[in-house]
Amino acid sequence: MVDSREPGPCPARLRGRVALVTGAGRGIGAAVARRLAAEGAAVVVSDIDGGAASRVEAEVQQTGGTARAVSMDVTVAADRERAIATAKELGGLHIVVNCAAIFVPQLPHDVDLEGWRRVFAVNVEGLFFCCQAALATMRDQHYGRIVNFSSTGARVGTPAMISYNASKSAVLAITRGLATQYGPDGITANSVLPGIIDTAMWDTINAEVGPMVGFAPGEMMRDRTRRIPLGRAGVPDDVASVVAFLASDDARYVTGQALNVCGGLLML
């Protein structure tokens, strides 16, 4: 029996394209970087942890792909400019995937301004200004693919992640605004909304958020997974394959959309 979690052979849909992926040092971001490279893109692997980015760069190169690691804090303009300059050295900037994100577990009555601002600085401001910085090149090319990471948390209530969920709702609004403004320039902008994905982030949610909302440590993910029609948590490659589609010309008539990648946990 074929394991449906195993990705099939990758087509070369992205040959000749250059992609910038933020938050690409681990988890879903790393899977996205590897998948785009497998489909032929030259990938700028950016992460605030430069060592993690370099490890993903090495993985891509070992499989015959092209990658360049960049240490990048998405909240710092100079870092954003350096990442885009690196992309241009590889031949342009055709695809931007904004994966970088953080969360601060706090119940609504415990949210403080420092935590709120830190989440929004990365998840909203960093994401938006990465898009803005890329748009000049994309408009000159009359071609671009922007894929922004929201979350199913933008559509459900998780009290202990209220700042994160609010930031991911803002991502949806940003993406729609970009799609509307820059469609005539040949640029598409879409959002992906991962659900329960087996990553280090969900390990932290299990350990810290679960007990805050009444679960024993480790039980929150099991509870959520039991509700998924496909019967399992997702893996990073499940999300990466959707991103690769949106980054390709197969999605040339898809823009302003928000795609849940959650095994049917949400159906809207």
pLDDT in tens, 126-156: 999 999 999 999 999 999 999 999 999 999 9
List the domain boundaries for the chain.
18-195+238-260, 197-233
Q: What is the pLDDT of residue 137?
A: 96
Token reading at 218: 């480790």
The yes or no reply on domain 18-195+238-260 and CATH 3.40.50.720 is yes
182: annotated active-site residue: no
pTM listed for this prediction: 0.94
The predicted model gives 252-260 an average pLDDT of 98
pLDDT in tens, 50-68: 999 999 999 999 999 999 9
Kindly indicate the confidence band of residue 8, based on its pLDDT and cuts at 50, 70 and 90: low
184, pLDDT greater than 60: yes
Nearest partner of 24 among 75, 67, 77, judged by Cα: 67
* Residue burial 131-168, b: 16+ Cβ < 10 Å; e: rest: bebbbebbeeeebbbbbbbbbbbbbeebebbbbbbbbb
- Token look-up 């933020």 returns 22
Kindly indicate the confidence band of residue 157, based on its pLDDT and cuts at 50, 70 and 90: confident
Among left, alpha and beta (phi > 0; psi -120 to 50; other), residue 26 is beta
Catalytic residue among 143, 164, 182, 253: 164
Kindly indicate the confidence band of residue 2, based on its pLDDT and cuts at 50, 70 and 90: very low
CB 168 within 8 A of CB 234: no
Helix axes 236-247, 27-38, angle to 10 degrees: 50
Of 21-30, 123-132, 216-225, 244-253, least confident by mean pLDDT is: 216-225
pLDDT cut 70: percent of the chain above it = 97
The predicted model gives 207-221 an average pLDDT of 86
**The length of the chain, given as a count of residues:** 268
Start-to-end Cα distance in the chain:
31
The predicted model gives 61-88 an average pLDDT of 98
Alpha carbon distance 14, 254 (integer Å): 17
Regarding beta strands 95-98 and 66-71, do their DSSP bridges make them parallel or antiparallel, or are they unpaired?
A: unpaired
238, pLDDT greater than 90: yes
What residues are paired with 187 via a beta bridge?
Answer: 144
Alpha carbon distance 7, 76 (integer Å): 35
